[in-house]
Amino acid sequence: MDFELSDELLALRDSVRKLAQDKIKPRAREIDESGEYPQDIFEAFRDADLLGLCIPEEYGGSGAGILGLTLAIEEVTKYSNVTGLMLLLTRLPTGPIMIAGSEEQKLKYLPSIADGSKRSAFGLSEPGGGSDVAGMQTRATPDPDVEGGWILNGTKCWISGVRQADWFTVFAKTGEPSSRLHDSITGFIIDANAPGVERPRFDKKMGVKGVDTGELVLNNVKIGPDDVIGAIGGFRLAMLGLNAMRPVVAARGIGLAEGALMYATEYVKNRPAFGSTIASMQGIQWEIAKLATEIEAARLLTYRAAWLADQGKFTKEYVPQLSMAKYYASEVGVKASGLALQLLGAAGYMEDHPTELWYRDAKQLTIVEGTSQVQLGLIAKGVLGHDLWWD
């Protein structure tokens, strides 16, 4: 067992740390206040070759894998969670293509994500429900005019990056809409400019502002046979894509928690009280120690999950380990944002400090890509089925 990162990954982490301190830290508050997409940060990521971290070298990426992406996201989310989301979006919609796409699809869609000339987004959730994926109502029916083609109708919602996306990975029912069979759902690539693609509304949300979420409406959108991802019947593909993403979302939790604890610790060390400082009090020190322990536990789970995903170990038997990372790291992110705010007292509640921003941003993490309750359900299934360390 080796707990050391390779020299390449250490160099990546150090360079992203510097970029985050120089370019993201000073912009975080502004991005939240304006709610405008931080194109300058996107360009900084592009110039530093960070948009293709998880994309293999043969498709224009750097091949740093999920672990490389995880480390980069951890660094940038110390200062701004929305910038972590921007990096995450290089993997979420491309994942199904990397897992099950054709060679033509990989060559067509991956290099332009890696070089920043295109952006994409991922449409799974619907107004009728996000957790219950099999209950989706977006429907694909065979195109009578094109052999192997499909016509899509339906509404996807809360799609991160919906406004900037040039194309979408979308899942739709190719079977009966009422069917809950796993082979009734298939993945498609949809051009944002195709006739019938509409983005009618963007959400007003409590945090992670700067990258819009919103609705994607599909009105008789025609899909050619080349834009079907993998085989017809791709519910398993949607799940594999999400399983491999668990460490990537988890990285946003640990980065936020680390940023919040670093900030609050410096504050309490310098805050005079009762003839000493807030940091000198044992009750405060124990809270800091407990949170630091939980962050380390979350980091270990997250790095192991990233390592598993990079080994291709994101099939059913690895679900508990992957879900533990997402569940625990996102809950630690929420906890850390609350403790950091508390440690600053009234100052932490005001916009003079980033704590209130982290507090608003953190909550998204326990909802997206499988809520905490959904992750607990997956972990429980693994425990009950003795998928873990059972004798």
Closer to ligand FAD by Cβ: residue 61 or 207 = 207
Q: Which of 44, 88, 124, 229 binds ligand FAD (CB under 6 A)?
A: 124
User: Does 129 participate in binding ligand FAD (rule CB under 6 A)?
Assistant: yes
Q: What are phi and psi of 68, to 5 degrees?
A: -60, -45
Closer to ligand FAD by Cβ: residue 331 or 343 = 331
Interacting span for ligand FAD (CB under 6 A) from 62-70, 194-202, 350-358, 372-380: 372-380
Closer to ligand FAD by Cβ: residue 298 or 368 = 368
H-helix segments, 4-122? 7-19, 28-34, 39-47, 65-76, 81-88, 95-100, 103-114
Interacting span for ligand FAD (CB under 6 A) from 24-32, 120-128, 146-154, 348-356: 120-128
**Smallest distance from the beta carbon of 370 to ligand FAD, in angstroms?**
6
Closer to ligand FAD by Cβ: residue 123 or 338 = 123
Closer to ligand FAD by Cβ: residue 62 or 90 = 90
Q: What tokens does 59 get?
A: 């498709």
User: Does 179 participate in binding ligand FAD (rule CB under 6 A)?
Assistant: no
User: Does 177 participate in binding ligand FAD (rule CB under 6 A)?
Assistant: no
Catalytic residue among 75, 258, 356, 369: 369
Q: Could you tell me how many residues of this chain bind ligand FAD (CB under 6 A)?
A: 23
User: Does 364 participate in binding ligand FAD (rule CB under 6 A)?
Assistant: yes
**Smallest distance from the beta carbon of 376 to ligand FAD, in angstroms?**
8
- With 0-12 / 13-18 / 19 or more C-beta atoms within 10 angstroms meaning exposed / middle / buried, residue 71 is buried
User: Does 222 participate in binding ligand FAD (rule CB under 6 A)?
Assistant: no
* Among the listed residues 251, 257, 217, the one whose alpha carbon sits nearest the alpha carbon of residue 369: 251
Distance CA 77, CA 333 (A): 11
Closer to ligand FAD by Cβ: residue 122 or 188 = 122
CA dihedral 388, 98, 136, 365 (to 10 degrees): 60
Q: What are phi and psi of 197, to 5 degrees?
A: -90, 120
Q: Which of 70, 186, 213, 265 binds ligand FAD (CB under 6 A)?
A: 213
User: Does 250 participate in binding ligand FAD (rule CB under 6 A)?
Assistant: no
Do 76 and 25 form a contact (C-beta atoms < 8 A)? no
Do 184 and 172 form a contact (C-beta atoms < 8 A)? no
Do 114 and 148 form a contact (C-beta atoms < 8 A)? no
Give whole-number Cα distances, 289 to 193, 279, 301, 361, in Å.
51, 12, 19, 23
Do 169 and 236 form a contact (C-beta atoms < 8 A)? no
Q: Which of 123, 210, 253, 259 binds ligand FAD (CB under 6 A)?
A: 123
Q: Which of 42, 158, 314, 328 binds ligand FAD (CB under 6 A)?
A: 158
Distance CA 37, CA 27 (A): 12
Interacting span for ligand FAD (CB under 6 A) from 31-39, 125-133, 277-285, 333-341: 125-133
Our answer to whether residue 369 is catalytic in this structure is yes
Site string for ligand FAD, 322-351 (x = CB under 6 A): ------------------------------
Q: What are phi and psi of 54, to 5 degrees?
A: -95, 0
CA dihedral sign of residues 204, 173, 187, 328: positive
**Smallest distance from the beta carbon of 147 to ligand FAD, in angstroms?**
30
Q: What tokens does 144 get?
A: 């009578």
Interacting span for ligand FAD (CB under 6 A) from 130-138, 239-247, 279-287, 323-331: 130-138
* Among the listed residues 291, 335, 318, 331, the one whose alpha carbon sits nearest the alpha carbon of residue 385: 318
User: Does 83 participate in binding ligand FAD (rule CB under 6 A)?
Assistant: no
User: Does 368 participate in binding ligand FAD (rule CB under 6 A)?
Assistant: yes
**Smallest distance from the beta carbon of 251 to ligand FAD, in angstroms?**
16
**Smallest distance from the beta carbon of 299 to ligand FAD, in angstroms?**
23
Q: What tokens does 175 get?
A: 């079977």
Tell me whether strands 197-198 and 139-142 are parallel, antiparallel or unpaired: unpaired
**Contacting residues toward ligand FAD, per CB under 6 A:** 121-125, 129-132, 158-160, 205, 208, 213, 364, 367-369, 371, 373-374, 377
Q: Which residues are catalytic?
A: 369
